[in-house]
Amino acid sequence: MRNEPSLDTRAEMHRLMVTTRAIEIRLGEMFRDGQTRGPIHRCDGQEAVGVGATQALGDEDYVTTTHRGHHVYVGRGLEPRRIIAEIFGRATGYCGGRGGHMLVGDASRGMLGGNAIVGAGIPAATGMALSIKVRGDNRVAMTVFGDGAAQTGICHEAMNMAGLWKLPVVFLLENNRYGLTVPQSGQSATDHLVDRATGYGMPGTVVDGNDVGAVYAAAAEAIDRARKGEGPTLIEARTYRVEGFSTSDMGGYQDPDEVARWRARDPIALSAEGLRDALGDNLLARIEADARAAVDEAFKQALADPLPEFTLHAASAPYAGGPR
């Protein structure tokens, strides 16, 4: 099929998923040791969505994500060291310690950016698509958002305008089945959120969110449509949040059997199965070991990086500012 990832792309996506998972596991350990600051929203089990979707984008394209966006950051090619440095509030982090793990932005990679107001990334990407249309350039904007965000008013407003104006935007709904503690059945009358696409005059498609190749192919097709001026697409990638809402989640509301069923469909294990014949056990093991070693090294460097110094932001100060 035209949009199927090549073997090289599949191997690269595997490496990026292993990288993301290694970061998440280490963050969990450091949280338990009391070494992290603030809540951290891990994306374990959802790596295929963020990595598959962003790997299908072109270098100049834009993407927005959520408070749970480490897989999108890594998939988009941001450096693990600077992501980790931001999580630990270092001067070398993507925001120099001003943002934290939910607000990472890297304009040079079109990563604009993480957003911790649920739903806000949706009109953000839609506005970038409007900018693309006004300027008449060839970029595409993508937003990766959750089933919780799908229930916001701005989701409706933004999708309506994207469909109306045929904006070059891809709506990638990462359905991980929970909005904080409330299951999707407690947030929407339908279990088929993709059906909403019809109401906005755009195509909608459902993919297995734990199959990175399937996510990539669906995203590539939607990006293609958008770039050709044919308008937006809604992709519902079905996955599952196997860790809690955040490191401060005390749990107790997810069915253990359900969690076990999804853990058995781990996207990294599925990806490895698909690559084993083509790459061989040795090469696959080396890719994984190298990725984990690189994450260890990134943590080492980031944790040795300097802390930021405070300066008052002149443009925000009460009586400062003036024209620029």
Binding region for other proteins (CB under 8 A):
62, 64, 94-96, 98-99, 103, 105-108, 112-113, 115, 117, 120, 122-128, 130-132, 134-135, 153-154, 157-158, 160-161, 164, 313, 315-324
Task: Tell me, letter by letter, the H, E, C secondary structure of 236-299.
Answer: EEECCCCCCCCCCCCCCCCCHHHHHHHHCCCHHHHHHHHHHHHHCHHHHHHHHHHHHHHHHHHH
Could you tell me the smallest distance in angstroms from the CB atom of residue 84 to other proteins? 17
Could you tell me the smallest distance in angstroms from the CB atom of residue 158 to other proteins? 4
Report CA-CA distances (Å) from 298 to 81, 97, 99, 120, 287.
4, 16, 19, 30, 16
Q: Are 118 and 87 in contact (CB under 8 A)?
A: no
Nearer to other proteins, 110 or 179 (CB): 110
Q: Report residue 73 as tokens.
A: 């950051």
Nearer to other proteins, 34 or 153 (CB): 153
Phi, psi of 225, rounded to the nearest 5 degrees: -60, -50
DSSP per-residue string spanning 209-230: TT-HHHHHHHHHHHHHHHHTT-
Nearer to other proteins, 162 or 275 (CB): 162
Nearer to other proteins, 50 or 100 (CB): 100
Could you tell me the smallest distance in angstroms from the CB atom of residue 105 to other proteins? 4
Could you tell me the smallest distance in angstroms from the CB atom of residue 238 to other proteins? 26
Residue 229 to residue 312: CA distance in whole angstroms: 44
Nearer to other proteins, 39 or 96 (CB): 96
Residue 139 to residue 132: CA distance in whole angstroms: 6
Amino acid type, 178: Y
Nearer to other proteins, 252 or 323 (CB): 323
Q: Report residue 289 as tokens.
A: 């070991």
Task: Tell me how long the chain is.
Answer: 324
Could you tell me the smallest distance in angstroms from the CB atom of residue 4 to other proteins? 30
Could you tell me the smallest distance in angstroms from the CB atom of residue 324 to other proteins? 5
Q: Are 150 and 171 in contact (CB under 8 A)?
A: no
Task: Tell me, letter by letter, the H, E, C secondary structure of 21-45.
Answer: HHHHHHHHHHHHCCCCCCCCCCCCC
Could you tell me the smallest distance in angstroms from the CB atom of residue 164 to other proteins? 7
Nearer to other proteins, 20 or 126 (CB): 126
Could you tell me the smallest distance in angstroms from the CB atom of residue 317 to other proteins? 7
Nearer to other proteins, 132 or 212 (CB): 132
